[in-house]
Structures are given as structure tokens and as C-alpha cells.
Structure 1
Amino acid sequence: MSELDYTPNDCPLPRRRADFDTFDEAIDYAARSAKGMNFHDARGQLERAYPYAQLREDALGHAARLIGMGVGRGDRVALIAETSAEFCAAFAACVYAGAWPVPLPLPTTFGGKDSYIEQLGVQLSSSDPVLLLYPAEIGDMAAAAAANQGCRGMDWDEFAALDAPEAELPALDPDDICYLQYSSGSTRFPTGVAVTHRALLHNLSGHSRSMNIGEGDRGVSWLPLYHDMGLVGCFLSMIGNQVSVDYIRTEHFARRPLAWLDLITRNPGNSMSYSPTFGYDICARRISSQSHVAERFDLSRWRLAGNGADMIRPDVMQCFVNAFAEAGFKASAFTPSYGLAEATLAVTVMPPGEGIQVELVEEERLSGSPRDLSRPARYRAIVNCGKPLPEMELEIRGENGAVKGDHQIGKVWCRGPSVMHSYFRNEEATRDCLVPAEDGGEAWLDTGDMGYMSKGYLYIVGRAKDMIIINGKNHWPQDIEWAVEQLPGFNHGDIAAFSVETESGEEAPAVLVHCRVSDPEERVRLRDQIADKVRSVTGMNCVVELVPPRTLPRTSSGKLSRAKAKKLYLSGEIAPLDLAA
């Protein structure tokens, strides 16, 4: 495959850093260049080059079809967000038609057909779309979910075969809703985040300015397009900032993660590619059994290795550097960030080239618990997540709402043009997190996350709702999970920690652990070893349950869902392994 097969990195069209009033203008402008998207197969081989000019042409035709079907301004159109030209064109078509695209997830390996139909049903019920579009491969499940909800459903080909009568496109306003994005549920119950054109374009512009996106830069992504990092950072930002991008599907990455790095190696430009911690972890583990790293990969042009969407693990990042340094990967390429769907995507970004920076903080100070002088001090490495995007304000607040100073831990609050309009049709949830400002300015977003500031940089400690409080003492589940991960044989994501009520009515930490051991005696020894490890961290006994591999649930972005794990465990849907001989 030659570089000419790809859409190019550079072109004569002057770059605009998402300085448009509405996103349809951004599509129109990007279509004036030869840049675009490139879709690759499971081995990273180019299947389809899709210039932005072709995206625009297809989207305008689809917009006429939508209007011809009676889809009006403000109507929701649900889209199963597979990584394909069909999804991208349908999303853009909704924007042109004034409808609100609602990207929804593909089926995952966790659960089954009924579970997926139920999941779609919850989001379809919330978003109340007039139409669901989907790939033919999941037609049975998607059609069943649409029928249950009472909305029309059809696959991409059926939709494309409809007549496209001439139609007048609506004039859009910056304060119109551009799309609904369903948060992964890691911070709250999945709720539709309504994002305006103004908020989207501000975030895309801030993304470009903070990361200094320029000529020669090119995106590479395997992230799902129904999650904010994939949708906004790796799809909409590429259009808004006129950047060519190469995609492999998320399911292909799951089977062959090193295809991601193969794609970066073949990238003819300076790569921008982002991942949660677990993506780097999988690649480092997969390559550890192989040699000839330098012969297979060239990662020297990977300029921005973004990291976010979950707690950033400095040990995992170092393992990735160790594994791929000889292939030219530079630790300074790491670009930590912090964000959430309720702020469109990014809130803070590390300036390019500064890499991973950490501070060691006593665990008692992180949890707000008094120091136990009978035990040696324990520390956790907290990663610097960077500086706020331009025009975004950040404050750390205590329980009484008072603003805290540097190195004082509290809730992370932010405000600025990137903050969402509301949760769709959920006034109570909107009021809970969007708090009017006393100065009469924009409302503050209570993110639900805990962190602290230091010299203008943000450090994230954890999610407030995940805190385990036992006997008046606070414990972060990450500390318990990371302690267990230090035992031999465990991978990142094998452990979920939360609190449960014991038979005596007292609260105790519970730990669910993926177990790959079949011998009953070995399982008992493993359980006792884990209990000892947790006791050394918390100073108390805990409930340890060994569960089959791939049992612990994850959010749509691949993050461990502790809340769902607890719910499934208490309901009996996660059944512990039998330890009896």
C-alpha cells in the first residue's frame, strides 16, 4: 500500500482551528481540502479512503432523505456507532438536517443478545428517537430494540436506497443542540448529554490550540465512536480542525491490539493517537513475549500519545516506554488529559512535550482520613492531567462549596463555553450538577471527581462516588485494586473493589478478582493471599470473591464499572467460583 492511497496530511487550504459558528460550516470547510478519513481492516490494511468532500456529498443526500421522511429540526436520530463511513455520513446528515444524532454502542462480548437489546432500549427510551439506523450485521437485535421502543429502524443500505428529494436545509444557530452523547455511566447513570454547536466547536478549538495541531499531523484511532474521546477527539475534531485520520475498529483492536501500532508505524505524518491506560497496558503486555520490536515498529513520529478517560497509571505508562523505546517511542509524547462528556470532552490537557509528571501523596491525605501512626505511611503516585483549555475555569471546592488552595483535595468544578447545555429531559440531574454562579456568569459543572490543583495544573485523585467509607475511614478503591495487582498473575482490570454489608450488619470492603486457577486448593491459597494484601492496605478484613475471567463489567469506553459490578454481585448475576474441593 502506497502513501497515495491515503487522504493526504497537507493541502493548500489554510487551517482553521474550529473557529466556525456551527458544525455544518466545519464540514463544508473541511470538504474543500483533499483530507479525510481512512478505514482499515483487522490487520491495519486500508479498506476505504473517504475524503471529507465525499462525506459532505453523502451527508447532504442523507439529509434530504431524512427531511423527506419527515424528520424535523430537533428530532433525535439514533445511530449505532460502528467505525464506518456509513455512520460518519449519517451523523453529518443529522447535523445538516437540524436533527440530533444520538450515537449508541455496538454489542460487546459481555452479556448477550437480550442484554444488548435491553441496553439499547434504555437509551432509546431516554432519547426518544424517530429513527434508528444500524449496520445490517446486527439487524435482528437493533430492529427488536427499535420495535420495542416504537421507533422506525432500518440498516444503512435500506436508508441509502430511499429517495432523496430536494429539500431546504434549516439555518442552524450556535446555541442549537448539535448531538446527544450518552455518558459511559462511570460517573452517573447513563444520561443523554445535550451538546450545543457552540460548546462542541469551543472544545474542538481548545483541543487544537492546547495540542498545537498543525501541518503534518494525522490522527490514528481505535476508540469507539459512541464514547466522548472517540466521537469528539477522534472524529469531530478531525473534521473541525481539517486533519486526516486513520481508523481501525474497536473490536479489531481488541483481537489484535498491535495493529494499532502497525498503523502508527505506516502513518506518513506525525501521529496523534489517544487511549485510556488499558490500551497502552495491553500493547506492552502483548509485545513482552516478542522480539524485534525495532524491526516491526517505528513510533518515532508519534507526537501526541494522548492518555485519559480513566485514572492514568504511571507504572503502566513506564512499561509501555520500556517496551517500545527501541522502536523510537518517546516518553515526552505522552499527553495526559482530563475530561468528561458533560464538558463535551477535554477540560485540561498537558502541554505537548511535558509527558507524564507525578506527585507522591500519602494515601491518608488522599482519602481525608486521619493518619494511623501505628502503620507506615503509604503513598500513591498522582498524575498531572495538565492545564485548563482556553476560556475554561477550574476550581477545587470543599463540601461547603468553599474554594480550596493548591494541594488541597476537593471536588473538581469547571465552567466555560465547552460545558453541556443539559441532560436531555432530566431537569433533576441537570440541577444536581449544573450550579448557577454567584457572579452571574456561566453555571459551574460539578464533575463528581476529586482532585487538587498545583501551579495551574490539575491532579485527579478519584471519583467521589467510588469512595469506600468504613468505620468513618475513607478508602479509595483504586488503592485496594492496585495493591492486589502487585500480586503475580493479575492484569490491570482484573479487580473490582467496593463496600458491602456483612451478616453482622457492618460495612466491609469487598474485592472481586478474576481467577484463572482451576485447582481448588490453589484457589483457597489465592483468596487468602489477596485477603492478606488488602488487610495490609486497609487494616481490616475483607470479603474476597474469585470470579471467572471476563466477568467484571465495563463501561462503553472500556473502563471498569465498579457500581455495576457491585449490583451484579449483590443480585447474584456474578457468581463466585466454588472453592470447595
Structure 2
Amino acid sequence: MTLADLIAPGSGRTRLHFLDESISVDYGELWKAGEAMGCLRASCDGKPVAVVLTNSRACATAVVGAVAAGQPLVSVPMPARGAAPDWYARFIQRMCALTGAEVMLVDRSLLPLLPPMEKVSFVSFEDALSLSGPRAVDPAAFTLTQFTSGSTAEPKGVVLSGDKIVANLLALVEWLEVGPGDHVCTWLPLSHDMGLMGTFLGSLTAAGDRWARGLDLALMTPQGFLRGPARWLSACEEYGATITVAPNYAYDMAARKRGPAHDLRRLRTCVVGAEPIRVQSLERFSRVFGDSGFDPTAFCPAYGMAEAALAVTGTPVGVRWHATEIEPFPDDPRVGTDAAQGYQVVSSGVSLPGYGVRIDGDGIGEILVKGPSVADSYTGGTRLPDADGWFHTRDLGVLRDGRLYVLGRTDDVFHVAGRNVYALDVEAFAAEVTGVRSGRVVAIPENGDLTLVAECEPAYCDRDSAARLAQALRQQIVARLGVRPRRVLLTRRGVLPMTSSGKIRRKPLAAALQSSEVKILAGSLE
């Protein structure tokens, strides 16, 4: 089965609603409009085409058309807010050079924002969909190159064949037990694997005759969500969504900025991706929206990565999410007894059908995954799986009773004052201090010392409040881990560089601190 076979329109009624454009379209109509991508494939001789994926109708049409025509796609990021044009051009040119792409598809509205790029020509989705003439169609030739999030390093291109994407989508719909009456609402960007695989292609798969036999897919834009998080839940109610997907921070934002009362009784599955998944976030959302009919068992924490298309583990549908206490990583007998008190970590569930997960070593160790969707190689040719088929994720985790708990990256182990310090421990304990924004605190090694950077809640941004908060953070880490951060730097909200799934990009942040590009609040400990 090709990916085109899997997502082709079935006999049921499927409609896509592009909320920020106030447009609804039958899927069969969108599929037909995408046939022009066969003309693009002919004009490009089947070479990969770079694409800046957005949540627009034109982009969605082009993606579906590319799948049907077998036009290989290379997903590249849109310009980040404040990014230097020259840097962005070099960044994209490297991606295009790695993949052989010479054409880049973008929304027409983005064309004026893009700097000229050597050997790369821009074509709007609208112009690509208006092409006519000879068509070249080979659905089996479709591939998608998606780049890793780059939370701890520069992104790497992962080449996924259509059959690997099919394998992951089939596992997804089996895990989520999709059936008639299910509908989906999402704001996740199609430029991220959770948005493209998990909600867009996943929904089109689920709409097939083997599962839901038609559904409604409501798509917001990420910008629309950020302008008003309550709109996400309003859209879930309006379109009768039973399934939605979001990273941890989105549930925090929705709980903090609750709008008018919602009826969330139909929401049976809320996938939570992008570790770390926080106990406080799930509990707060359940408490805030309890009177809206929200069922806490709807939460389905999950774990995945670009190298496996998307998902590897997930919490079974209808089973309440689970958390366990993790003690600080053992390292130094000098750590006081107070530091033995651990913190709660949410389980990312069990292996999806056809997948395997194990830990390298006893107890806490590197997470290894195996499954039919794990890519064979990165764009540079580096092989992903080892000789036995296991992919070494460089994520730290632990398995208990078959459940996976994700603890961070193996890269995030620092040597400070003669001992190993784990970023996860530092960040988990720092997050307990009142005044720190949820999920917006990061530990960074600097010249053998430890630096802590945190975004403040608005009420803590004046000099005196920031000074008290910085002292409280330093004392917390000393008391809980026996390590004294040399610097505790506080910033206003929105300053820390993030991936689209809500992870802080540690290495770019460290570089920005060295070049004094981060605006630090007065009162910080420098």
C-alpha cells in the first residue's frame, strides 16, 4: 500500500475546515485540486522540492497532491521571528544542498519575506496548483525529508519513504482506536511531525473506510492559537472534536487563559507530546476544565521522534495517565538527604503496535527504539539503526512495568565541580519555585560551572522581585542537588529560543548568552 492509497478519499464524507481562512472544503475536492502537483513533478524531473509547510488550504492541497503524484518533499522551517535574513538563507541553502532541492514551495504571503537564495527558486503553492501540461505520477516514489527539532544540536534531515510513513500512520490509528463519529481539531504546524503526521496525514488516514468512514478536520494556525488559546477549545466544541493533539505547554496556556465556558464532553483523546510532560500541567487543565465536562482519562501522553516518522509509545486510550517519582540521578554521596526527595515524571505510555522500546543498561539509561517506520539514514548517509535494528535516540529514560518515562537527553549531562549534573534534575527542581514560567527554565554548563536561565512570570520582572526570585532559585538547587549555580539569569516571557514543539534549544541559547544577545533582567545573579 502506498501513502497515496492510504489517504485517498473514501466513501464517507470528509471535510477540512481552515479556520483562519474561514474556508471549508470537501476532501474529494481538495484531492482533485492537488493533481496539478503531477505537473510540478514533471517539470522538476522528480527531484525533491523544498516546502515551507503552513496550515493553509493551498499548502494542504499541495501536500496531498505531492503524495498522490509521488513528488518528494523536503520540509524546511519558515523564517523565525527576528532571524537574520542572511543566516536564514544560508540555513535553507544547506538543507537544499543536502537533499538536492532546487525549488521551494511557500505560501504566496511569505514570498516578500524571503531573502534571495543561490540555486533555489521560489514558487507559491497557488502557482504550483495552477500548473498545466504534462504530468508525471508515481505514488511509490514519494519521500518526505523532515529535519529533527534541533533542541540540542543543529537539525539533521531524516529521509522517510512512503512505506515507513504508512507503517507509523497505521500504528497511530490502531493506538487511538479511531472509529465512526470521531473528528479532529488541531492548531499544530504542519512543519512539525506532530502536526503533519499526527493530525493531518493521521486524520486523512483515519477518515478511510477501514476506520471512521469520514470525519471533520478543523485546522487552526499556530499564530491563531497563540493570539487566543481559548479559540482552540472553542473550535473543538464547535466541530465536535473527539481527538486533539498538543505539546505540554499548550495545555498550560489554555488553562491560564481560559475564555468562555466550553463543552468538552466529546473530547475523548488529548494526545500530549513533546517531553517533558508535567504532572502539574495535566492536573491544572483537568481542574480548570472539570466543569466543562473534561474527562482526565482523555489525556494520552506519548513519545516519538522525527527519525521514526512520529510516534513510538503512547498511553492506551481510556486508561488514566500515570506518573512516578524519579529520584535525582545518583552521583555524589555529598548530596544532602533533602536532595533525595524526587519529582514526578509522567509516563509516555507503552510501545505502539509493531514497535519495541528498551533501555541501554539497568535503571536509567539511553532509550533505544525499533519499529517499521524508523528511517534508514540521515541525508548525509549516516545510518540510523544499529546492526540489530535498534535506533539509539540519545534520550534518557527508564522503563517501569512496561511504561516508558522520558527524562531528557544524554547530551544534557554536565560536569560541574568534579561531578556529573543532570539538566533534568536542575530544571525539574527549579520549576517548583514560584515565579518561574512553566517549562521555561534551562540549565547550561559554562566553563565548568552551572548557569540557570529562566523566564519570569510578569509579576516578578521588576528589580526587587527578580532579585528575590534569583536567590530562591539558587537556594533551591543547592538544597536539592548540592550544586551552586554560579549565575541565575532571569528574562521576560518569550525570550528563550524554542522548537515548534515547545522544547528549549539549549545550544543556541548558550551561544546567545555568550554573545550577549539575551536581554537579562536587572536583579539576576551574574
TM-score by length of 2: 0.91
Q: 2:348 aligns with which of 361, 385, 393?
A: 385
Deviations 1:171-215 (A, max 9, x none): 62xxx5521111111254211111111111111111111111111
8 Å Cα contact 2:7-2:201 kept in structure 1: no
8 Å Cα contact 1:77-1:132 kept in structure 2: yes
8 Å Cα contact 1:135-1:156 kept in structure 2: yes
Task: Output the CA distance in 2 between the equivalents of 1:562 and 1:452.
Answer: 22
Task: Output the CA distance in 1 between the equivalents of 2:162 and 2:461.
Answer: 54
Residue 277 of structure 1 is matched in structure 2 by: 248
Task: Output the CA distance in 2 between the equivalents of 1:304 and 1:499.
Answer: 39
Residue 374 of structure 1 is matched in structure 2 by: 336
Superposition deviation, residue 497 in structure 1: 1.1
Superposition deviation, residue 122 in structure 1: 4.0
8 Å Cα contact 2:153-2:507 kept in structure 1: no
Deviations 1:464-485 (A, max 9, x none): 1112332453333233223333
Residue 527 of structure 1 is matched in structure 2 by: 470
Residue 135 of structure 2 is matched in structure 1 by: 167
Residue 499 of structure 1 is matched in structure 2 by: 445
Question: Which residue identity lines up with residue 350 of structure 1 in the other structure?
Answer: T
8 Å Cα contact 1:280-1:317 kept in structure 2: yes
8 Å Cα contact 2:437-2:454 kept in structure 1: no
Distance 1:555 1:58, change over 3 A: same
Residue 35 of structure 1 is matched in structure 2 by: 14
Q: 1:151 aligns with which of 120, 123, 131?
A: 120
Residue 255 of structure 1 is matched in structure 2 by: 227
Q: Does 1:53 align with 2:4?
A: no
Residue 127 of structure 1 is matched in structure 2 by: 99
Distance 1:275 1:171, change over 3 A: closer
Superposition deviation, residue 119 in structure 1: 4.2
Task: Output the CA distance in 2 between the equivalents of 1:195 and 1:183.
Answer: 12
Superposition deviation, residue 334 in structure 1: 0.4
Q: Does 1:415 align with 2:370?
A: yes
8 Å Cα contact 1:103-1:225 kept in structure 2: no
Question: Which residue identity lines up with residue 57 of structure 1 in the other structure?
Answer: K
Superposition deviation, residue 219 in structure 1: 1.0
Superposition deviation, residue 535 in structure 1: 1.8
8 Å Cα contact 1:224-1:557 kept in structure 2: no
* SS class of match (1:576): coil
8 Å Cα contact 1:309-1:340 kept in structure 2: no
User: Where does 1:232-381 land on structure 2 (aligned, <5 Å)?
Assistant: 232-242=197-207, 243-268=215-240, 270-287=241-258, 296-363=261-328, 367-372=329-334, 374-376=336-338, 377-381=340-344
Task: Output the CA distance in 1 between the equivalents of 2:349 and 2:59.
Answer: 32
* SS class of match (1:560): coil
Superposition deviation, residue 561 in structure 1: 1.3
Task: Output the CA distance in 2 between the equivalents of 1:302 and 1:98.
Answer: 35
* SS class of match (1:491): strand
8 Å Cα contact 1:314-1:356 kept in structure 2: no
Residue 67 of structure 2 is matched in structure 1 by: 95
Superposition deviation, residue 141 in structure 1: 2.9
Deviates more, 1:208-217 or 1:531-540: 531-540
Superposition deviation, residue 572 in structure 1: 2.6
8 Å Cα contact 2:49-2:103 kept in structure 1: yes
Q: CA RMSD in A?
A: 2.2
Residue 72 of structure 1 is matched in structure 2 by: 45
Q: 1:137 aligns with which of 104, 109, 124?
A: 109
Residue 193 of structure 1 is matched in structure 2 by: 158
Structure 1 residue runs of 5 or longer lacking an equivalent are: 1-20, 399-403, 438-442, 502-506
* SS class of match (2:408): strand
* SS class of match (2:436): coil
8 Å Cα contact 2:164-2:373 kept in structure 1: yes
Question: Which residue identity lines up with residue 397 of structure 2 in the other structure?
Answer: G
Q: Does 1:481 align with 2:453?
A: no
* SS class of match (2:392): strand
Deviations 1:235-291 (A, max 9, x none): 1111122143111000110111110000111123x511011110000011112xx6x
8 Å Cα contact 2:36-2:128 kept in structure 1: no
Residue 560 of structure 1 is matched in structure 2 by: 504
Q: Does 1:450 align with 2:366?
A: no
Task: Output the CA distance in 1 between the equivalents of 2:276 and 2:322.
Answer: 14
Task: Output the CA distance in 2 between the equivalents of 1:482 and 1:454.
Answer: 20
Residue 6 of structure 1 is matched in structure 2 by: none
Superposition deviation, residue 110 in structure 1: 4.9
Superposition deviation, residue 553 in structure 1: 0.3
* SS class of match (2:391): strand
Task: Output the CA distance in 2 between the equivalents of 1:186 and 1:489.
Answer: 24
8 Å Cα contact 2:143-2:160 kept in structure 1: yes
Task: Output the CA distance in 2 between the equivalents of 1:322 and 1:37.
Answer: 31
Distance 1:368 1:579, change over 3 A: closer
* SS class of match (1:359): strand
Superposition deviation, residue 135 in structure 1: 1.4
Distance 1:119 1:252, change over 3 A: farther
Task: Output the CA distance in 2 between the equivalents of 1:62 and 1:128.
Answer: 18
Q: 1:105 aligns with which of 77, 84, 94?
A: 77
8 Å Cα contact 1:72-1:97 kept in structure 2: no
Superposition deviation, residue 85 in structure 1: 1.6
TM-score by length of 1: 0.83
Task: Output the CA distance in 2 between the equivalents of 1:520 and 1:540.
Answer: 25
* SS class of match (1:259): helix
Task: Output the CA distance in 2 between the equivalents of 1:236 and 1:99.
Answer: 16
Deviations 1:212-240 (A, max 9, x none): 11111111101011111111001111112
Deviates more, 1:271-280 or 1:182-191: 182-191
Task: Output the CA distance in 1 between the equivalents of 2:153 and 2:177.
Answer: 32
Q: 1:511 aligns with which of 434, 437, 452?
A: 452
Task: Output the CA distance in 1 between the equivalents of 2:462 and 2:162.
Answer: 57
Superposition deviation, residue 524 in structure 1: 3.2
Task: Output the CA distance in 2 between the equivalents of 1:487 and 1:341.
Answer: 33
User: Where does 1:536-575 land on structure 2 (aligned, <5 Å)?
Assistant: 536-542=479-485, 543-575=487-519
Superposition deviation, residue 54 in structure 1: 1.5
Superposition deviation, residue 350 in structure 1: 0.8
Residue 9 of structure 1 is matched in structure 2 by: none
Question: Which residue identity lines up with residue 100 of structure 1 in the other structure?
Answer: P
Task: Output the CA distance in 2 between the equivalents of 1:24 and 1:374.
Answer: 59
* SS class of match (1:423): coil
Q: 1:459 aligns with which of 391, 400, 405?
A: 405
Distance 1:110 1:56, change over 3 A: same
* SS class of match (1:492): strand
Structure 2 residue runs of 5 or longer lacking an equivalent are: 208-214
Task: Output the CA distance in 2 between the equivalents of 1:121 and 1:83.
Answer: 23
Residue 11 of structure 1 is matched in structure 2 by: none
Superposition deviation, residue 130 in structure 1: 2.2
